[in-house]
Structures are given as structure tokens and as C-alpha cells.
Amino acid sequence: MAEIAPSVLGADFARLGEEIASAGEAGVNMLHLDIMDGHFVPNISFGPAVVARIDQLTDAYLDVHLMLSEPEKYFDDFVKAGADAITFHLQVHPDPVPYARQIRDMGVHAGISINPDIPVDNVLPYLEHFDLFLAMSVFPGFGGQKFIPEVLDKVRTARKHIDSNGLATKIMIDGGVDLTNAAEVVAAGADILVMGTAFFSAHD
């Protein structure tokens, strides 16, 4: 069964504690934390100090999505802050395996992400080295954007590759996921649905 990972970027930061508690009450086991540097993406979010505070507030698995030009500089800081998984983008490290090793050697899961304009074939050869594959269904940088449906074919292709090679890599989808497309995303083979706006703006 697919799982939902709420993206804290969609939460009301003035009520962060309550928002995280409400995710816990909704039965969520994983939170997605979007880290942006104003360079790899045209927006700035939050850093390790906020992640460490979130880690104190919840037992949820913390999935840290690094939208950074030099992610490796911060692996250690985010692991110390309580990250359970660290994901970076293939664009910044086209030879990503040494970085996957570095992350796993720190005792956390490693993830690799591709933007909507990157062919899925570029990432397939590396999936065996990663615990998570984060397929972007929007161009990263902002919450609340519209889902790009072309990602579904990438999810199907990755699903086939993972299953036929007996890999344990989980497929995550990130951006614009809501109740109108969730079923389709799951049918395409995604294991985890990141949901920011749709989760935190819902009334129940």
C-alpha cells in the first residue's frame, strides 16, 4: 500500500508544532522536509536547526530533500539534525554513487531525484545504489504547483526496472500530488506520495 509523506513546506510555520502533531494524529509515519538554497532553486526554505527542532517534536521518519547546489557540504549537518534519509539531485552529481555511499556510511537512507525535464533512463543505472527514487512532478522550488502528468511514465519505467532487477528502492513522487491524481500515481507504481499543499490545507 502506498504511503503519504506530508511536506512541511505546505504547513503554517507559525503553528509548526500543531501542524506536525496533526500529521501524527492522521497516522503519518514520514515527513518530507524541503531544503532550498536560493541557488539550485529560486527559493530559500529552512536549514538543519529547524530539522533538529522537528525531530524533537515527532517520531516520524524524516525524509530530507536537498535542493542544494552543493548538497554534500550539508550531509553531516542534516544527519546530526535527525534526518533518516537524505536525497539529492542527479543534476548536481551526474556520477552520484560516491555520494550515495557517503550518505549510507552515515547510517541513513540515500535518495536520488530527477527534475521533470530529465529522462528517467538517466537515473535507472544508479537506482541499485539508492534506497529512494524521488521523481519530481513539478520543477522544484515552490509548493502549490500543478502536477506534471508526464512523470507517470517515468514512474512506470522505474517500477519495471526496480521489480525486474529485484531492487528494494522505493519510488516517491513529489509535487502537485492531491486527491485528483493520487490513485493514478499509485497505479503507476509509486510507493510514497509527497503532499504539501493538499495535506496541510485540507480541513480534515
Contacting residues toward Zn ion, per CB under 5 A: 34, 65, 174
174 is catalytic: yes
In the list 4, 30, 83, 177, the residue contacting ligand DX5 (rule: CB under 6 A) is 177
Q: Known catalytic residue: 117? A: no
Tell which positions 62-91 bind ligand DX5, by CB under 6 A: 65
The one of Zn ion, ligand DX5, none whose footprint includes residue 193, by CB under 5 to 8 A per kind, is none
Catalytic residue among 12, 34, 117, 163: 34
Torsional class of 175: left (φ above 0), alpha (ψ -120 to 50), beta (otherwise) = left
Interaction partner, residue 123 (ligand DX5, Zn ion, none; CB < 5-8 Å by kind)? none
Kindly write down the DSSP assignment for every residue of 16-82, as one continuous string: HHHHHHHHHHTT--EEEEEEEBSSSSS-B---HHHHHHHHHH--SEEEEEEE-SSGGGGHHHHHHHT
Question: Among residues 31 and 127, whose Cβ is nearest to ligand DX5?
Answer: 31
Tell whether residue 6 is a contact of ligand DX5 (CB under 6 A): no
Cβ closest to Zn ion, residue 12 vs residue 105: 12
Task: Please give the distance of CA 197 from its chain centroid, rounded to a whole number.
Answer: 14
Burial of 168-185, coded b for 16+ CB within 10 Å and e otherwise, reads ebbbbbbbbbbeebbeeb
Choose which of 48, 82, 175, 189 interacts with ligand DX5 (CB under 6 A): 175
Which residue, 65 or 154, has its beta carbon nearer to Zn ion? 65
| Crossing angle (nearest 10°) for helices 48-57 and 16-25 | 50
Residue corresponding to grid cell 504511503: 3
Q: Which is nearer to Zn ion, 163 or 190 (CB)?
A: 190
Q: Which of 63, 131, 174, 191 is catalytic?
A: 174
Find how far residue 140's CA is from the centre of its chain: 11
| Residue 192 near residue 7, CB atoms below 8 Å | no
Q: Which residues bind ligand DX5 (CB under 6 A)?
A: 7, 9-10, 32, 34, 65, 138, 140-145, 174-177, 194-198
